[in-house]
Amino acid sequence: MTQRIAVVTGASGGLGETMCKAMVDQGHKVAGSYLPGTDTDAKEWQQAMQAAGYEVAIYPLDVTDYDNCCSFIAAVEKELGSIDVLVNNAGITRDAPLKRMQPQQWQDVLRTNLDSMYNMCQPVFDAMCSRGFGRIVNISSLNGEQGQFGQANYSAAKAGIYGFTKAIAKEGARKGVTVNAVSPGFINTPMVRQIPENVLESIVAGIPVGRLGQPEEIARAVAFLTAEEAGYITGTNLSVNGGEYMS
């Protein structure tokens, strides 16, 4: 197994942490990011990962800031080496019906969830192509596929990821760089567990498999698409939603 350098943005969240573990399990050196100014204690998070047997470097990063992304990438490459695998996982929600959605709510979600795709991919893409290997996975959402009441901003951003993914997949295809998306449905994370119990019960009732997904099931999809053997899969979206939306 070839050891690669892998980056996961939004690493300290419920999905990101599990993705980092999956990358380590693949034999990679892994760097994760967290948003400065949040309640994440990077040192405590890293120590908890180490206690679980996972060595992950952690860096502050604002994915909405192109220059900050470039600085983050330079720091990772100085410490670990050239980035071979990039998982764009960082994202936020700012929900409101369109009639009450404020411009800042729209802009914050588009900048974090969609602009970040450019901000992270552009600085590493040419080098991946030059080396003849790269794996990029962009985390979209069930609600980018089907839309969702009160999430015009989030649904638009997550749907935009598909076009971005397909476009740069064509640019990297002959150079050994694959670019794919993964679209999680409702996953058993702290954020989803904050949904009122009666609402969550109705959500689960509408999922054909009859349960929430587990973070490990998303991480497994990411690991599949970032594997050495996944070189013939590019420009596609892998929906992991328990059958809630079938395209």
| Predicted confidence (pLDDT) per residue in 86-128, tens digit | 999 999 999 999 999 999 999 999 999 999 999 999 999 999 9
Check residue 112 and give its pLDDT. Answer: 98
CA gap 127, 41 in Å, rounded? 32
pTM metric for this prediction: 0.96
124 contacts: CB under 8 Å, gap ≥ 6: 73, 83, 86, 134
**Domain boundaries in the chain?**
5-188+216-234
| pLDDT band at 205; cut points 50, 70, 90 | very high
Query: Which residue out of 154, 162, 232, 245 is catalytically annotated?
Result: 154
Amino acid identity of residue 132, one-letter, is: G
* 118 in catalytic set: no
CATH of domain 5-188+216-234: 3.40.50.720
Mean pLDDT calculated for residue range 189-208: 91
CA distance 29 to 23: 8
Instruction: State mean pLDDT over 40-57.
Output: 95
pLDDT band at 62 (very low <50, low <70, confident <90, very high): very high
Please report which confidence band the pLDDT of residue 40 belongs to, taking 50, 70 and 90 as the band edges.
confident
Mean pLDDT score across all residues of the chain: 96
| Edge-first strand listing for the sheet containing 134-139 | 56-60, 29-34, 5-8, 85-88, 134-139, 177-184, 237-240
How many Cβ atoms are within 10 Å of 195's Cβ, its own excluded? Answer: 13
